[in-house]
Homo-oligomer: A and B are copies of this chain.
Amino acid sequence: MATAVRALWWRGGALHLVDQRALPGRIRILRLRRVQPVAAAIRSLAVRGAPALGVAGAYGMVLAAAEGGYTPARAARFLAATRPTARDLFVGIERVRAAWAAGADPLAAAEAYRAEVVAECRAIGVAGAGLLARAPRVLTHCNAGALATVEWGTALAPIRAAREAGTPVFVWVDETRPLLQGGRLTAWELAREGIPHAVIADNAAGHFLQRGEVDCVLVGADRIARNGDVANKIGTYEKAVLARAHRRPFYVAAPWSTFDPDRSDGSGIVIEERDGAELRRLGGRRLVPDASAVRNPAFDVTPARLVTAFVTPDGVVPPGRIAGALRRHRRRAGPTPI
């Protein structure tokens, strides 16, 4: 069983990526045979989304090993320097680095990691589908779909699973400025699968919550601290505050690779500040005067107190119990947990 959309796959010694910068206008596939263009694809957001970054990083390590000229540690440092916030990127790289350094097959390690991510996303879907039976009109932010995770998605997995189960889901899609991953990518995934949805300006989410047309908010994550603080796409925090103000549940769906056991809370999470050009121009149009300053943080941190529950591969877990669930997962997963 697979979803209609996949972010990336391995074939013939090459990493194949759907170039997410070109969507929804064009479906362009990148075939990458060296580690350098994998790093460039990550940096330029041709591939993005925390779980997908982890798998892309893992395959990037495979290419570095085949290419020669890299030690496992050097290849890992090179790929890890691309983006700072999503934890999964570092987990995927580390999985293959450890296998490579131990003399095991890097490709087998990357394939195993990819399979785990897909399986975890599927499990997130099963775990979260029941929540949507009681709250079928879902607001989501950014893209936490198949494009962000290889298949299924994190936030979109329960939506897909609920739909399969016959729940009449409806998805409010924040367009998600500046890079419009909601309007361009989430809407594209939902349209391909015929799931009813409407794209709105990020500014309109509060209005539809106020009108009682949103039952819950469901998002993905880039990094989650032990206490349940969540780093995710800029604007997530605003939606969490709005959900609370309207007494609507705010759910965060993520595989275990997104949870950071080394971080007690969100205060130290590095927030990437991206180039102001992302706000200044679009499609050849100037949107901001050249004389104006621009600030462009790519992520924000939502405090655990605003999270109703996490949707994990092991079930729905409230923030107060997430540290324990993470410990249990890591004991079960053994020496190289994701």
Contact = CB atoms under 8 A, between A and B. Distances in A.
A210 B266 CA distance: 13
B300 A207 contact: yes
Nearest to A286: B25
B297 A180 contact: no
Interface string A273-317: 000000101111111110111111100110000000000000000
**Stoichiometry (number of copies):** 2
A242 interface: yes
Given A187-B289, A282-B282, A283-B282, A177 B206 contact: no
B242 A199 contact: no
Interface stretch (A92-100, A146-154, A233-241): A233-241
A165 interface: no
Given A183-B279, A198-B295, A293-B197, A288 B175 contact: yes
Given A282-B283, A282-B285, A296 B201 contact: yes
Contact of A175 (B190, B286, B287): B287
A-side interface mostly: mixed
A177 B179 CA distance: 13
A326 interface: no
A205 interface: yes
A3 B155 CA distance: 49
Contacts of A296: 200-201, 204
Given A190-B292, A204-B295, A241-B241, 17 more contacts: A173-B292, A184-B288, A187-B289, A188-B292, A191-B292, A200-B296, A201-B234, A201-B235, A202-B235, A204-B300, A206-B238, A207-B234, A207-B237, A241-B242, A244-B245, A245-B245, A282-B283
Interface residues of A, number: 56
Interface in A21-68: 24-25
Contact of A283 (B180, B285, B291, B293): B285
A176 interface: yes
Contact of A288 (B178, B187, B279, B292): B187
Contacts of A282: 282-283, 285
Interface string A74-87: 00000000000000
